[in-house]
Structure 1
Amino acid sequence: MRVHEGNVRGYGAERGASGRMGRRVLAAGFALFLLAAPAFSTSEDSLPGYLVEKWGRLTGTLSEALALRDRQETLPASSWFGADKSSNAKKIDELLDQALEILVQGRAGDLRRQALELRTDIPGLRLEADGLRNERISAPETSRLPWVRTRAKIDERLSELEEEISHRERALSEVNAQLAEALRALGLQLDQGQIDVLLSSVTGDDLLQNAVVFANVRAMVEKLAELSREDRDNLEINRRYSGLYLVLNDLLIHTQEELVRKIDEDYKPRLGEIAKEAEALRRDALAKAGQKGYTEAQRRSFSLNAESNAMTLRVADLYMQLLDSQRKGVLDNLTDLRRNRDLAENTYRTVRSSGDLRNLIRSGLELFDSIHALSMPEIRPFENETIRREFEEINKRLKR
């Protein structure tokens, strides 16, 4: 079954000793994040309010996934009628996705969504302003027709757009600061510049989402440990709790494998196509810039186009390094997470007492505290505004 699915130099600077130091700083930051994950008392109030409110729905969804998981080995590989391994695994993944809809909640998750909405709004407003500036060229100075846009009306709208863009940029800066604070509350140390890079990258949304999911999963595991102590002599209840813990491991693996799939099947191939196109355009522009059949102004324009495509290639290479670093980190952690799931599954099948479950959860929490579960790559602020804009342009093309 599938069940998958550093803050030193600027982007564009040479990599070296300081880059390695950045990775060590990030590693320390992740260790702090995991170690600082909240420990909960036996009171339901110790859980975040959204988890308390959705606890029944969440555990019910996970229990459904567990029941389907129990069926998996007994089902045929394929079947014309009825369930088979493939259809059953698909249902499990759908249930895990439903659980994720709850587990992505929280202040950091809400701020992440606000930031992404603002980042989506701003380019649209800039595009409208660009269209109006072009329309203004041929617009009349005056007109008696109310539906005709005069230069004065266009200027008025351009002024409004300028204010709207400035307002959203200020709001985005404030949200980024709040998001950095919310992530620090989870133990993840990122400054506003690094947050900006994350939100500008195609994997950033997944990374920030996984930060929230990981914290909420850990909170649930702590609560399961407490509940098991209250029913320590009821083997059926303890088996159920160990099963929920098993499915939570499935869920963490699911999020990480899904990110690897996106990188391998979507982002890296698209990025390769962008780089290939930019290289072809660069070569063509350079060739024509040296041909005497074109005017001097035309040759100069070809040279500028070649430089622009060279910048695209440079930023695409930086982007590929970011994706490769992310992919390697996720794969490294998946090895540990899968081993932890193997232990969880074995214990679920053979649980005899609450002690078995407590030992299982204790070892799981030790793992959570020792691995870099979010696998964030080295995150460096943008070297300059040109690279930042090119990075965002590539990101838009990757998301199409």
Structure 2
Amino acid sequence: MKIIIPAICLIVVSMSAQADWKESLSTGWSSVKNSSSELYTDLTGEEGEVTQALSTLSAARQKSISSWDKMEDRFADIIEVKGEKDQAPESAFFKKDKANYQDDIDALLGDVYGILNDDIVKEASNSIVQIDSTILAFQKKASQQKSKSVILIGEDKKEALKKQQQYEDDIAEYQHNREKMIEAVQIRLDEFGTELSFEQVEALLVRVNADDILAMTTIFPVIGEIASSFAKITATSGEDLNNAKKYYSMYVVLLELQLYIQERYIADLKYKYIPRIDELQNKQNNLIKTTKNEMRKASSKHKKSYSLNLKSQNTTLKAIKLYKVSMQQDLSNMSKAHRLLVEDYTLAVNTLNTVTMSSQVSNLISDSSQLFDTIMALQAPELVPFNNIQMQKEFSVLTDKIK
């Protein structure tokens, strides 16, 4: 699905501002690292290699430093494409129009998203998905051997029980590895400033939107670190308006990146996840209705089995409804956070197009740190631990179906 940044994101600054943006990219982050001795002294060696001092910084600050070279190239491309988009027609048959250029900008923002997405969290999350799939497969095989052992006798029965035990041992080992992966995610999120219990992390990881939430939880603090650095550099530039515009224009790009991430997530919730849950809920309601009808017609011999089926189906329906409520709450929270960021972005673009003193620009960027905290709090989902194993399994199965 193509994500379209809303109208305010399509505002293009004047050509002189575009020139400032391009110039800032060649010197921006180098200036941040070299000029702000408080933040970056002794971070790099003579050949630019990161020294041990880097390991003493927060995960977000480490990521902001180690990722900037790759981000810088994309930002330069974004600014160039924005300049071309400004000159393009609203619509055209034989050449690119504004919408085509916006697609290119979205693709570049997607690249930056990928660069900033934390590899440790992403790999641990992917491992947990694979482990869960393997555990389900072994549970099925163990159940099959258990069923076979009931009707078998002698050596065949022993062999079936032996295989069942082997599968159960494998399950236990995978469960242990799963716990280690959850702990790894928990520790890494804590390094980015988000403290969650083991149970909360586990509840998060079985959700269909887990990857999106994890990415935002690790990416937004990095954006905040970069913006904070820009504010400090701008504050030290006195009343140099050229420097003020350089660093503030880069801050505006960071806001566009946040908007892009939020809008992509909102679109997934509205047009992919929630509709899929509605579809599953309708199917489950129909199944329950069918089961009730068949149970009324069934003989007393079969009513108990229908009753057990109905109980299981109602548990699944309950899980679906909880899942939908969770998704709807995520959508509501993210929409609120997006509205706050839209207001800040609108002001940022207006400020960039206005001749301002660097002290005012610095204060505006600094004030955004509080906004970032508010946005992060709004975006954080309510992670209620599962009160039973069955509900956790239902969520895991539903996640696969929604995907």
TM-score by length of 2: 0.77
Counterpart for residue 47 of structure 2: none
Paired letter, 1:123: L
Instruction: For 1:52-91, list aligned pairs within 5 A.
Output: 52-91=65-104
How many Å separate the matches in 2 of 1:320 and 1:194? 18
Q: What is the CA–CA distance in structure 2 between the aligned matches of 1:107 and 1:169, rounded to whole Å?
A: 20
Shift in Å, 1:240: 3.4
**Distance in 1 (alpha carbons) for counterparts of 2:355 and 2:148:** 73
Paired residues of 2:234 and 2:362 also in contact (CA < 8 A): yes
Structure 1 residues 159-170: aligned runs within 5 Å: 159-170=165-176
Q: Structure 2 CA distance, aligned partners of 1:163 and 1:57?
A: 45
User: Which of 171, 174, 190 matches 2:180?
Assistant: 174
Tell me the amino acid that sits aligned with residue 374 of structure 2. Answer: S
Counterpart-to-counterpart distance in 2, 1:356 and 1:163:
64
- Is the 8 Å Cα contact of residues 200 and 395 (structure 1) preserved in structure 2? yes
Question: For the residues of structure 2 that align with 1:251 and 1:374, how far apart are their CA atoms?
Answer: 18
Report which stretch shifted further, 60-69 or 333-342.
60-69
Residues 1:154 and 1:69: Cα distance change in structure 2 (over 3 Å): farther
For residues 262-320 of structure 1, what are the alpha-carbon distances to aligned partners after superposition, in whole Å with 9 as ceiling and x for unaligned? 111111111111111111111111111111xx443333222222222211221111111
Following superposition, the deviation at residue 88 of structure 1 comes to 1.0
Residue 274 (structure 1) aligns with: 280
Contact 1:315–1:390 (CA under 8 A) maintained in structure 2: yes
Query: 1:251 corresponds to which residue?
Result: 257
Q: What are the within-5 Å matches in structure 2 for residues 1-400 of structure 1?
A: 2-3=4-5, 41-43=39-41, 44=43, 45=54, 46=57, 48-105=61-118, 107-127=120-140, 129=142, 159-229=165-235, 235-291=241-297, 294-373=298-377, 375-399=379-403
Deviation digits for residues 178-225 of structure 1 (CA, Å, limit 9, x no counterpart): 322332333323211111111111122211111001111112212323
Q: Which sits farther off after the overlay, 359-368 or 63-72?
A: 63-72
| CA positional deviation for 1:363 | 2.3
Map Cα deviations across residues 32-74 of structure 1 (whole Å, 9 max, x no partner): xxxxxxxx82345457444433311112212322332344444
For 2:295 and 2:205, locate their aligned partners in 1 and report how far apart those are by CA, in whole Å. Answer: 37
Counterpart code for 1:316 = I
1: CA distance, partners of 2:200 / 2:247: 38
Q: 1:379 to 1:109 in 2, by over 3 A?
A: same
**Corresponding position of 2:15:** none
Q: Which runs of 5+ in 2 are unaligned?
A: 7-37, 44-53
CA spacing shift, 1:251–1:151, aligned 2, 3 Å: farther
Residues 75-128 of structure 1: CA distance to partner in whole angstroms, max 9, x if unpaired? 222211222121111111111111011111264445434434433443344455
Q: Distance in 2 between matches of 1:287 and 1:64?
A: 62
Letter in 2 for 1:218: G
Find the counterpart in structure 2 of residue 31 from structure 1: none
The letter of the residue matching 1:317 is K
- Separation in 2 of the partners of 1:210 and 1:340? 18
Q: Distance in 2 between matches of 1:155 and 1:381?
A: 34
| 3-state DSSP of counterpart to 1:187 | coil
Letter in 2 for 1:269: P
SS of structure 2 residue aligned to 1:202:
coil
5+ residue gaps, structure 1, are 5-39, 143-149
Given the superposition, is the C-alpha separation of residues 137 and 307 from structure 1 closer, same or farther in structure 2, using an over 3 Å criterion?
closer
Does the 8 A contact of 2:5 with 2:259 survive in 1?
yes
CA distance in 2, matches of 1:55, 1:303: 60
Contact 1:194/1:380 (<8 A) preserved:
yes
Aligned-residue offset at 1:390: 1.5
Change (3 A) 1:356 1:275: same
Moved more, 220-229 or 52-61: 220-229
Task: Name the aligned partner's letter for residue 185 of structure 1.
Answer: E
CA distance in 1, matches of 2:103, 2:256: 13
Answer yes or no: is the 8 Å Cα contact 1:207–1:376 preserved in 2. Answer: yes
Identity %: 21
Find the aligned partners of 1:137 and 1:68 in 2 and give their Cα distance.
Answer: 69
In terms of fraction of residues, the more helix-rich structure is 2
When the two chains are superposed, the root-mean-square deviation of aligned CA atoms in Å is 3.1
SS of the residue 1:350 aligns to: coil
> After the TM superposition, which of the residue ranges 365-374 and 206-215 deviates more from structure 2?
365-374
- What letter matches 1:53 in structure 2? S
- Displacement after TM superposition at 1:130 (Å): 5.5
Match of 1:34 in 2: none
Q: How has the CA–CA distance of structure 1 residues 232 and 285 changed in structure 2, closer, same or farther, with 3 Å as cutoff?
A: same
1:342–1:290: structure 2 CA closer, same or farther, 3 Å change rule? same
What count of residue pairs does the alignment treat as equivalent?
355
